[in-house]
Amino acid sequence: MIKHGRIIKSISGFYDVIDNESEKLVRTRARGNFRKRGIKPIVGDMVAYDDSGDLGYILELLPRNNSLVRPPIANVDQAIVVTSAVEPKFSSNLLDKILVNIEHNDIEPLIYLTKTDMIDEDAYAKISEQLEGYYEADYVIFDDKDNYNPQQVQRLQEHFADKVTVFTGQSGAGKSTLLNHIDPELAIATAAISQTLNRGKHTTRQVSLFEISGGLVADTPGFSSLELIDIDKDELPTLFPEFVKYSSECQFRGCRHVNEPGCKVKEMVDSGKIMKSRYDNYLYFLNEINSYKKRY
């Protein structure tokens, strides 16, 4: 009998599938012709499978909404962008680059500020002011001064229901600490992975999905792509939500918000409605994309 489900774990050619209807966990293998056809199932894939024998068989991979390479995972709904106030220092350029990559992959980003307990009130006020522009761009932000207080962690978990969530952020930003506050088992798995990884070697990392608060959470913070090489210069303006909000009022359709007259986005930057640092980072990324084109 053909059933449908989602792969939540992959190990040595076996795939653990959670059934859509019964929520039963079934161990499966992929059909032999998958390899010949260049098809590789990954965690997060929605599949059609047959469980009539001792071992289930994946018959078909259903179309993916998106997929990531690092970690190898499909159909991700949201990414928690863990960004620290200090050590490493808060960087709007790095944050914006991560956000652009997430938007490019059709994943919803949420911003979680860590290490606020390590800075004084003045420094916290300064970062809070910088984050105002992200609120204006309609991002969901977690930036309490007491960064791991139970209420804020609970508020974050309320976003997990019926979604697949991955974590991302600069190394040392506090992803594992946040995971530990959400579910100690998740952080323990992450720490064990970190210890066994051989730095400098291309190590394939198998991902698993854990059920937390009615959703599925990847067991390792690993969305790491920071290159803009897959992003086209025409797509870039669409990856800044606050630009999209005002671009319909630009004089020219397809306005890139650089030198065009009658640009509503630049008008909003001048008025302070769009954060200057976000716009400056946009121009920086545009130059970066243009330099890729010249190089290749």
Q: According to the annotation, is 204 in a ligand binding site?
A: no
Q: According to the annotation, is 272 in a ligand binding site?
A: no
Q: According to the annotation, is 74 in a ligand binding site?
A: no
- C-alpha to C-alpha distance for 182 and 202, rounded to whole angstroms: 29
Q: If 0-12 CB within 10 Å is exposed, 13-18 middle and 19+ buried, where does residue 262 land?
A: exposed
Q: According to the annotation, is 169 in a ligand binding site?
A: yes
Q: Name the DSSP letter for residue 167.
A: E
Q: According to the annotation, is 250 in a ligand binding site?
A: yes
- C-alpha to C-alpha distance for 124 and 254, rounded to whole angstroms: 38
Q: According to the annotation, is 40 in a ligand binding site?
A: no
Q: According to the annotation, is 172 in a ligand binding site?
A: yes
Q: According to the annotation, is 174 in a ligand binding site?
A: yes
- C-alpha to C-alpha distance for 204 and 168, rounded to whole angstroms: 18
Q: According to the annotation, is 104 in a ligand binding site?
A: no
Q: According to the annotation, is 257 in a ligand binding site?
A: yes
Q: According to the annotation, is 263 in a ligand binding site?
A: yes
- C-alpha to C-alpha distance for 70 and 86, rounded to whole angstroms: 25
Using DSSP's 3-state secondary structure scheme, residue 70 falls into coil
State the CB neighbour count (10 A cutoff) for residue 172: 12
CB 27 within 8 A of CB 61: no
Using DSSP's 3-state secondary structure scheme, residue 46 falls into strand
Q: According to the annotation, is 175 in a ligand binding site?
A: yes
Name residues whose C-beta falls within 8 Å of residue 219's C-beta, 6 or more positions apart in sequence.
Answer: 186, 189, 190, 193, 207, 208, 209, 210
Q: According to the annotation, is 114 in a ligand binding site?
A: yes
Q: According to the annotation, is 170 in a ligand binding site?
A: yes
- C-alpha to C-alpha distance for 201 and 80, rounded to whole angstroms: 27
Q: Tokens for 74? A: 């499909």
Q: What's the CA angle centered on 119, arms 116 and 124, to 5 degrees? A: 70
Q: According to the annotation, is 171 in a ligand binding site?
A: yes
Q: According to the annotation, is 187 in a ligand binding site?
A: no
CB 129 within 8 A of CB 100: no
Q: What's the CA angle centered on 92, arms 78 and 151, to 5 degrees? A: 50
Q: According to the annotation, is 222 in a ligand binding site?
A: no
Which residues fall in the annotated binding site for Zn(2+)? 250, 255, 257, 263
The annotated binding site for GTP is made up of: 114-117, 169-177
Q: Which residues are annotated as a binding site?
A: 114-117, 169-177, 250, 255, 257, 263
